[in-house]
């Protein structure tokens, strides 16, 4: 999530990447205004785009794939199978038959590729640190801890970046791992400058960031345009990732017009590793969010 990444680009004294209303004030073009419409809060019911469905059975078991992902010990109490549709979801789209039930990963263990972290579901332990952080051999726009991912995500990212390059698209790792200490400092700086209510719209609270798990990262475009801005959705990197990331085990974690479910506005740059089988299953069924896929309640705000 760009909103909780440290650095000059999102320092509290600078405009929040989520304050898209200021794009209008600055005289944004039609494309940016279209993105603004999707990223602006309102009173309208949050419905998925036409054709978006929800799973009707258990997802394919995310067994170890070519990336070398290994399963965390399943916990029956938190390893949910996809359930019925979320209140705001549309009717299921035409999709393949539900996969037979199989081995599942934990939804609460931060070392699990299926862990779900949102405004209702904090990491446990709160100060979790991945045991296998590595720097992937990809193009980097950051250094230090922000250039790290867990080893499974790093391997999958390397394959994805290479495939994109073969297609003439340059992906850049713009923000990777973020420690609990870094998230605490970033969030507190927002609170001190803007107040807690606004901070909660711009930065994840400590212990509630996917970046801390090592399973997520933000991408940029090789051309450098529109980083962490609504117009990034139109850049080659975002267009390619939206169409192809699932083949490498990634999903766009905060999709268009689903902030009433995920708790975050559209972030075409934020990718999350869930394993090839789960990502392909979500893509083929048209399931937009992890909350819907695993039958979890929407998490639009902190409890």
Is residue 234 within 8 Å of residue 38, measured between CB atoms? no
Residue 296's pLDDT is: 96
Domain 2-293 CATH (choose: 3.40.50.150, 3.10.20.30, 3.90.1720.10, 3.30.1380.10)? 3.30.1380.10
Please determine, for residue 229, whether its predicted confidence score (pLDDT) is greater than 80: yes
pTM reported for the whole predicted model = 0.73
Instruction: Say what the pLDDT of residue 280 is.
Output: 96
- Choose among 42, 53, 90: nearest CA to 260: 42
Q: What is the pLDDT of residue 288?
A: 97
Cβ atoms 175, 157 nearer than 8 A: no
Q: Give the pLDDT confidence score for residue 81 in this predicted structure.
A: 54
Alpha-helical segments (H) within 9-124: 21-25, 30-39
CA 24 to chain centre: 26
**Residues 56 and 89 sit within 8 Å (Cβ to Cβ):** no
Of residues 82 and 270, which shows the higher confidence score?
A: 270
Q: What is the pLDDT of residues 172-184, one digit of tens each?
A: 999 999 999 999 9
Average of per-residue pLDDT values in the chain: 77
> Is-catalytic flag, 210?
no
How far apart are alpha carbons 190 and 205 in whole angstroms?
10
| Per-residue pLDDT reduced to its tens digit, 1-51 | 544 433 433 334 333 344 333 333 333 444 443 443 334 333 333 333 333
Provide the pLDDT confidence category of residue 104 given band limits of 50, 70 and 90: confident
Tens-digit pLDDT profile for residues 54-71: 333 344 333 333 333 333
Q: According to the model, what pLDDT value does residue 78 have? A: 52
- pLDDT grade, residue 108 (50/70/90)? very high
pLDDT confidence of residue 82: 55
**pLDDT at res. 202:** 81
Torsion of CA 46, 58, 177, 64, to 10 degrees: -160
Q: How far apart are CA 201 and CA 301, in angstroms?
A: 9
Among 145, 234, 267, 277, the one annotated catalytic = 267
Percent pLDDT > 90 in the chain is 65
188 exposed, middle or buried (CB, 10 Å; 0-12, 13-18, 19+)? Answer: middle
């Amino acid at each position: 999530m760009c909103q909780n990444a440290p650095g000059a680009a999102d320092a509290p004294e600078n405009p929040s990447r989520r304050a898209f209303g200021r794009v209008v004030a600055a005289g944004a073009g039609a494309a940016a205004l279209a993105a603004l419409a999707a990223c602006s809060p309102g009173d309208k019911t949050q419905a998925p785009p036409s054709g978006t469905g929800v799973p009707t059975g258990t997802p394919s078991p995310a067994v170890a794939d070519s990336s070398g992902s290994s399963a965390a010990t399943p916990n029956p109490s938190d390893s949910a199978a996809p359930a019925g549709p979320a209140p705001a979801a549309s009717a299921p789209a035409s999709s393949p038959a539900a996969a037979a039930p199989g081995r599942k990963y934990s939804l609460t263990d931060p070392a699990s590729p299926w862990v779900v972290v949102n405004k209702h579901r904090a990491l446990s332990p709160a100060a979790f640190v991945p045991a296998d952080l590595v720097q992937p051999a990809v193009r980097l726009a950051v250094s230090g801890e922000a250039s790290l991912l867990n080893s499974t995500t790093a391997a999958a990212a390397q394959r994805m970046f290479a495939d994109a390059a073969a297609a003439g698209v340059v992906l850049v790792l713009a923000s990777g791992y973020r420690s609990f200490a870094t998230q605490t400092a970033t969030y507190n700086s927002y609170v001190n400058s803007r107040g807690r209510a606004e901070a909660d719209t711009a930065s994840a609270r400590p212990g509630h960031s996917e970046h801390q798990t090592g399973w997520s990262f933000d991408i940029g475009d090789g051309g450098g345009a529109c980083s962490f801005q609504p117009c990034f959705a139109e850049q080659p990197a975002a267009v390619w990732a939206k169409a192809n990331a699932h083949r490498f085990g990634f999903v766009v974690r905060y999709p268009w017009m689903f902030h009433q479910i995920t708790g975050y506005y559209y972030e075409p740059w934020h990718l999350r590793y869930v394993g090839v089988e789960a990502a392909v299953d979500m893509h083929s069924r048209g399931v937009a969010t992890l909350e819907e896929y695993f039958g979890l309640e929407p998490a639009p705000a902190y409890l």
